Amino acid sequence: MLRSAVFLVAACLGVTAMAADPIKSERQEVFGDLTVHYNTFNSTYLQPDIARDKELVRSKTEGVINVSVLKAGKPLVAQVSGNVKDLTGMNVPLHFKQITEQGAVYYLAQYPVPQVESRTFDITVTIGGDAHNFSFNQELFPAE
């Protein structure tokens, strides 16, 4: 439980460090009674033991996206997929892994951040055969 709390604090701090989408300050999408929360941050914001436990690579040039799905405030198991593309249109698929902890289910994926640039994330959350899609832009910064 303590690890989850540390992870979520790091994730929240990372959102501000990677410049949130200027158009939408809330990092959530609502689809009827489902709420999808998401954020992205540089992997160096993770504590080494948390990164190791979640099998994530800590690197100045690696980002992490975190997605969770809630219904009536309770976590739901879903299928999460997506990609991130740069301004040239080059797509990098996101390979999400499900993390289940006491009272929480969330999905993590890593992606490269080789330089400062704006990227578009296209995410699909599927629950019970119903697919919900959303996109967001994020200006990314490799850690210094």
Q: Determine the 3-state secondary structure of 101 from DSSP.
A: strand
Question: Model confidence at 143, in pLDDT bands (50, 70, 90)?
Answer: confident
DSSP 47: -
pLDDT in tens, 4-53: 543 444 454 444 444 444 445 679 999 999 999 999 999 999 999 999 99
64's torsion region: left (phi>0), alpha (psi -120 to 50) or beta? beta
Tokens standing for 116? 């400062």
44's torsion region: left (phi>0), alpha (psi -120 to 50) or beta? alpha
pLDDT in tens, 46-81: 999 999 999 999 999 999 999 999 999 999 999 999
pLDDT in tens, 76-134: 999 999 999 998 889 999 999 999 999 999 999 999 999 999 999 999 999 999 999 99
Taking the C-alpha atoms of residue 19 and residue 25, their distance in angstroms, rounded to an integer, is 10
pLDDT of residue 24: 56
Taking the C-alpha atoms of residue 110 and residue 56, their distance in angstroms, rounded to an integer, is 8
In this structure, what is the dihedral angle of CA atoms 106, 4, 58, 52, given to the nearest 10 degrees?
-100
pLDDT of residue 15: 44
DSSP 74: E
Is residue 99 within 8 Å of residue 67, measured between CB atoms? no
Superfamily name with CATH number, domain 2-140: Domain of unknown function DUF4426 (2.60.40.3340)
DSSP 63: E
pLDDT of residue 82: 98
- Domain locations in the chain? 2-140
Taking the C-alpha atoms of residue 48 and residue 53, their distance in angstroms, rounded to an integer, is 9
Question: Model confidence at 144, in pLDDT bands (50, 70, 90)?
Answer: low
Cβ count near 131 (within 10 Å) = 11
Taking the C-alpha atoms of residue 69 and residue 78, their distance in angstroms, rounded to an integer, is 7
